[in-house]
Amino acid sequence: MSEPNRVFVQAGPSDLTPAPGSGSRWTAAGIDVEWTPAGEVVVSAVGGVSRVALRWDEAVPAEALVLGDAWERSYGDLQWRHLQPERLLPWYWLAHDRQTGTTTGMGVDVHPGAFCSWTVDQTGITLWLDLRNGGGPAQLAGRALTAATVRHFEDVGTPWLTLNAAVAAMSSHLPERPAPAPVVGANNWYYAYGEGFDEKAVLQDAATVVELADGHPVKPFSVVDDGWNPGGNGSGGPWESGIPGLFDDMAGTAAAVKAIGARPGLWFRPLLSRESGPWARTGRPDGPGRALDPSYPEVLDLVRADLRRFKDWGFELVKHDFSTYDVFGRFGPAMGSRLTDSGWQLHDPSRTTAEIVLALYREIRAAADDVVLIGCNTVGHLAAGLVDVQRTGDDTSGRDWERTRKMGVNSLAFRLPQHNRFFTLDADCVPCTPQTPWELNRRFLDLVARSGSALFVSIDPAARTEQTDRDLGDGIRLALSGGDAGGIEPVDWLVNTTPNVWHAGAGTVRYDWGQPWGADPASG
């Protein structure tokens, strides 16, 4: 692969500086950048380093459609789009030439040492390596950091096949994933929303999903989502007990779920604490809890202890959530090119934020042992291979169908190539609630079940009917069997952010996602 034509560096808050080059090495402002024959970008600096930009003078056709990924979850925003020079494309990009029908692109391997994004225009391509620590420069102190390994993607027949090949290339150094058991089950969030539920409701969810699985040899999960711990909905730890009177014995709850025939799962927010004390992330108001700084060894000790406790209680699945927000103070759409507010840093400034987040994920994986891990609000390119399941899109909804259409269908369509390569994909729950139209939810259920990706259902007992039970049972059993043998593929994804036409197995399936009045702009 060819080395970049030009390199720019940024030591602190100042502007990018052109770095003079000699061979495959460029140096300026005390920052040294090396390009290796393997496509590695190695950065070293005596002082601080904030960003490095690599520029290739390779034209992209003016009529091309361009696709990128997202920093963490997607928010209904993944799409093929015309050239837009300022559009930030996290991790990888593809360009589909509508005249020749070919698709090419570039990306970086998973587990980079920087937050990596691209911009694409008619005169060239730029790779942006964000090497900051929090909102300021990382202090590498002469250390050589492999910030990214760059891959170039050639056309392999269709845009869909090329994206699949690209994802495989970016994850080629991960250990080969054994065929994972289907991840299917109940999750109470989209009818309970963290309020007014107790152990009795959790056990009812477990009984419902076991009933609908109807003796399938693969056991479904039943997940206790947010709202079980004393801090209440959206709060942080300590994660040492349940709410008195509602969850008096978490080990007993897990055992009761198992006795019903389901596998117990539990949600937690590892980087938020209700207690005052050291190890807080600086530069962020406390709000309803105190964000913990994962560059403190003591914080990692707390997280490890939480995972061991959940396993000792008997939980077989743990969903860890909100860590990107608790580190950056922003969700994905607000991160942009700056990622976070300026002027603050993590406790250990010698590592980039990417290195610190990656270390957190590795610690969680090691502590969880054989517990099934779901990452939510986690960075897919860093979590790849370190979570079993990844929530790849923002929340669906048990109150507003438009969120499910926008978030769930979009995430499944554009990130499905990551499934069983980076992790098992989770496009989020299928709600069954009185507030949302079952005729539309059942279509989403059918699509997710066919995909073979993770399927979780949020079933409000008040919404159960003979029809919903029949549909839910069919979907759950299909998903427990691994979905359609031939997989699924969106057909109209080049022109539709929530594709209606899908190849499924040996045939084609068409879904109408629209309500009678169409999409509701108030839900956008």
Cα angle value 137/143/145 (rounded, 5°)? 75
195 and 166 co-located in one domain: no
| The total number of residues written for the chain in this structure | 524
Domain that holds residue 238: 187-479
Task: State the burial class of residue 156 (Cβ atoms within 10 Å of its Cβ: 0-12, 13-18, 19+).
Answer: middle
Residue for token digits 């879904």?
Answer: 511
105 and 201 co-located in one domain: no
Alpha-carbon gap, residue 95 to 52, rounded angstroms? 23
- Domain boundary (479, 494, 512) is at 479
- Maximum CA pair distance of the chain? 72
198 and 326 co-located in one domain: yes
384 and 272 co-located in one domain: yes
139 and 215 co-located in one domain: no
278 and 391 co-located in one domain: yes
Residue 287 has a pLDDT of 59
The verdict on whether omega for the bond into residue 217 sits within 30 degrees of 0, i.e. cis, is no
pLDDT in tens, the chain (524 residues): 689 999 999 998 878 999 999 889 999 999 999 999 999 999 999 999 999 999 999 989 999 999 999 999 999 999 999 999 999 999 999 999 999 999 999 999 999 999 999 999 999 999 999 999 999 999 999 999 999 999 999 999 999 999 999 999 999 999 987 778 999 999 999 999 998 899 999 999 999 999 999 999 999 999 999 999 998 788 899 999 999 999 999 999 999 999 999 999 999 999 999 988 789 888 765 556 789 999 999 999 999 999 999 999 999 999 999 999 999 999 999 999 999 999 999 999 999 999 999 999 999 999 999 999 999 999 999 999 999 999 999 999 999 999 999 999 999 999 999 999 999 999 999 999 999 999 999 999 999 999 999 999 999 999 999 999 999 999 999 999 999 988 999 999 999 999 999 999 879 999 999 887 788 777 76
Note the Cα 329 to chain centre separation in Å: 17
Helices (H), 51-111: none
Q: Which two tokens stand for residue 419?
A: 């499934």
228 and 87 co-located in one domain: no
Give the torsion sign (CA, 459, 461, 462, 466). positive
150 and 244 co-located in one domain: no
For residue 496, tell me if it sits in a domain.
no
For residue 410, tell me if it sits in a domain.
yes
For residue 501, tell me if it sits in a domain.
no
Residue 282 has a pLDDT of 83
191 and 166 co-located in one domain: no
For residue 518, tell me if it sits in a domain.
no
For residue 484, tell me if it sits in a domain.
no
Alpha-carbon gap, residue 298 to 254, rounded angstroms? 28
R_g of the chain, CA atoms, integer Å: 23
Which three-class secondary structure state does DSSP give residue 299? Answer: helix
Residue 273: give its domain's CATH number. Answer: 3.20.20.70
309 and 371 co-located in one domain: yes
For residue 511, tell me if it sits in a domain.
no
142 and 225 co-located in one domain: no
DSSP 497: S
Task: Specify the pTM.
Answer: 0.97
| Domains: count for the chain | 2
Q: Are 271 and 324 a contacting pair, CB within 8 Å?
A: no
Alpha-carbon gap, residue 79 to 248, rounded angstroms? 46
206 and 143 co-located in one domain: no
CA distances from 488 to 70, 368, 386, 491, 501 (A): 22, 31, 25, 9, 10
- Domain boundary (126, 143, 170) is at 170
List strands edge to edge, sheet with 507-510: 488-490, 501-504, 507-510
Q: Are 58 and 124 a contacting pair, CB within 8 Å?
A: yes
For residue 235, tell me if it sits in a domain.
yes
Residue 235 has a pLDDT of 85
DSSP 182: P
For residue 325, tell me if it sits in a domain.
yes
Q: Are 487 and 466 a contacting pair, CB within 8 Å?
A: no
Q: Which two tokens stand for residue 470?
A: 């029949």
